[in-house]
Structure 1
Amino acid sequence: MNGYLPALSATDSDSLHLPTLNLQGQVMSNYWYPYYGTGWYGWDLHQGLNVNLGASVFGFIGKNAPSGAGFTQNVSAMYAMPLNKNLSLAVGGYLNRLRWNHQSYHDAGLSAVLGYRFNERWEAYLYGQKSLYQTMPMFRPLYDMTSMGDRLGAAVKYHFNPSFSIQLSVERGWMPNNRHTYFDQYNYPVPK
C-alpha cells in the first residue's frame, strides 16, 4: 500500500458504459468541433440522478458586431443505471432558453442513451432525442450547433488504451420547420 487512495474505485468507473454527453444530456457530435466546445467539457454520468443547471450572459463588441446582450438559461437531468454488468441506460430531458436582441429561442425535449460493453476494447451505443417544444429555429449559421430537433443514432467505440480511443457514429437528425424562415422545396415564392 502506497498510502494514496484512488479517486474512483474500479466498480464506480466500470459500472456504467455510456458515452460522454454534452451539458444538455445529448451525445456529442464532432460536426461542430471545436466551435461547440466539444472536448472542453463533458458530462460523464454517475449512477443515479445527474442534474445540470446553467446560466450565462454574452455580448458582442466591434465595429460591425450585432448589438444587444444575450442571456441563456438551461437545465438538464439524466437518470443513469446499469441494467446488467455490460448494459447501461440513461434517460432524461433538457430545457434551454436564449434571449438575445429582442428574440427568444426555446428548446425542450427528452433524450436516452443505451450503452453496451462487449469487452475491454469495444463498446456500442444507441441514442435518441425527441424535441417536444421549440419556439423558433436558431439563425442559420448556428442552426444545428446545439443539436436541436430530433436525433436517432448509433456509435461504436474502440479503446486502444485507457487514454486513447476512436469512435464512429452514424445519426439522422430532423430539424424543426415551424416558422418557415427559409424556403424549402414546397414553400418557395412563385414568380408572377
Structure 2
Amino acid sequence: MKLTTRYEQTSCRLIVEGLPDLSAGQDASTIGILTGFTMGLAGQTELEGKREHLQALLSAVIPYARHLLSGVPKSFGAADAPVAIAPGEAGHQLELRSSQPNTPPLTLRLDDAELSDLVRCLDQLRLDPRLALPFETPSLQPLARKELRHRQPLLRRLAAPVAGVAALAISAALIAMLPTPKPAAQTAPELAPPAKDG
C-alpha cells in the first residue's frame, strides 16, 4: 500500500510517496522506502524526483539557510551535485540538475519568503516521525570564527592587538625611564703593615 505525506506552506508544497519497510519491522503507516516526491513552488514548475534528489535538496538548502541567518551567505552544492543554491541578484538562485543526459539545469529564483517556506517544509520532513528514512543532514556545528570575522567592526577586531602593542610600548618606556642602579664603590683593601724582624 503506497503512503503519501504532505508538507505545505504558503508558497511551497512537498509531497513524499513511499512504502513501509515491513522487513525492518516498521509500522504499516510509516514510510521506510521512498518511491518519489513532488515539490511545487508558487509560480514555478512542479518538480519530481527520487530519494537522491531529496537528499541533495536537504544537503544544500538547510546549511545555506543557516549561513544566511548568520549573515554569512555562501553557495552550497558541488558542480556535479543534483542541487545547488547560491545568493542571487534579487534573492536566491536554486539550480536543479537532471540526471538525464543533454538536459539543461533548471534555475529557480526564490525570494526570502519562498526560501523560508521551502526550509520549513524540509524541516517538517526531517522531523516527521511517520518517515523512517535515514536522511544525512549536515551536522549543526557553530560557524567557524573565520566565517564570522567580517561581521565584527574593524575597530573591535583591532582593539585587542592594538591594546597589547600599546601596553608593551608603555611598559618598555617606563622601564627605560627607571634610573639604572650605580655600581657599588669598591674600596681598595688596606695593606697590612710589614712585619718587623727581630
TM range (shorter): under 0.3
Query: What is the TM-score when the length of structure 2 is the normalising length?
Result: 0.26
CA radius of gyration, larger in: 2
